[in-house]
């Protein structure tokens, strides 16, 4: 990952499909996280595998210029309520260790939010662990607020997508 020195904070951020040619590289990004961060998010390999078994999963690699720097996965589908309601849930989100703090993650997630808004979505939910390496501050900086839900040992967060 020596390319980190070549990337500037104003690198062009894009979301790209994970392909047969890129899947190993995207999976290896998980190895760059600190031990505390690894406890906060599943490895990308697990996420990609789970996505292939969910008809409502959408996932992309996050790139800065032509360097893969992260991974995002959403659940876009019905919830368990009666009657079911369409939900948008940020299922997995990670930026590789060497690329954190450069603004790539914020810009990539804003792209996801803007796309959901264009599709008519009114909110995006997620959950995160608490404690060391928790991404809650990152999410709160984008406008997410705790929603009172608890998912196992994670707190629920929600972002209202305004018009």
Kindly report the pTM of this predicted structure. 0.93
Residue 88 has pLDDT above 70, yes or no: yes
Query: What's the confidence (pLDDT) of residue 82?
Result: 85
For the chain, give the mean pLDDT. 94
Distance CA 71, CA 4 (A): 17
Statement: 2-160 belongs to CATH 3.40.630.30: yes
Distance CA 134, CA 102 (A): 18
Query: What's the confidence (pLDDT) of residue 95?
Result: 98
Lay out the sheet containing 154-160: strands in order across.
13-16, 57-64, 67-78, 86-95, 123-128, 154-160, 145-151
**Tens digit of each residue's pLDDT (9 = 90 or more) over 104-121:** 999 999 999 999 999 999
Query: What's the confidence (pLDDT) of residue 4?
Result: 52
**Tens digit of each residue's pLDDT (9 = 90 or more) over 17-56:** 999 999 999 999 999 999 999 999 999 999 999 999 999 9
**Tens digit of each residue's pLDDT (9 = 90 or more) over 3-15:** 455 788 899 999 9
Domain boundaries, the chain: 2-160
Residue 94 has pLDDT above 80, yes or no: yes
Residues of the chain with pLDDT > 90, as a percent, come to 89
């Amino acid at each position: 990952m020596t390319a980190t020195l070549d990337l500037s904070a104003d690198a062009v951020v894009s979301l790209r499909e994970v392909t047969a040619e890129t899947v190993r590289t995207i999976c290896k990004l998980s190895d760059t996280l600190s031990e505390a961060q690894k406890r906060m998010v599943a490895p990308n390999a697990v996420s990609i595998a789970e996505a292939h078994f969910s008809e409502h999963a959408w996932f992309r690699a996050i790139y800065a210029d032509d360097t893969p720097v992260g991974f995002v996965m959403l659940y876009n589908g019905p919830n368990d309520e009666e009657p079911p309601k369409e939900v948008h849930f940020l299922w997995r989100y990670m930026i590789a260790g060497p690329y954190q703090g450069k603004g790539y993650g914020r810009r990539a997630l804003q792209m996801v939010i803007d796309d959901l808004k264009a599709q008519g979505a009114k909110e995006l939910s997620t959950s995160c662990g608490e404690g060391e390496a928790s991404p809650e501050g990152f999410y709160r900086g984008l406008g997410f607020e705790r929603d009172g839900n608890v998912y196992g040992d994670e707190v629920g967060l929600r972002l209202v997508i305004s018009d």
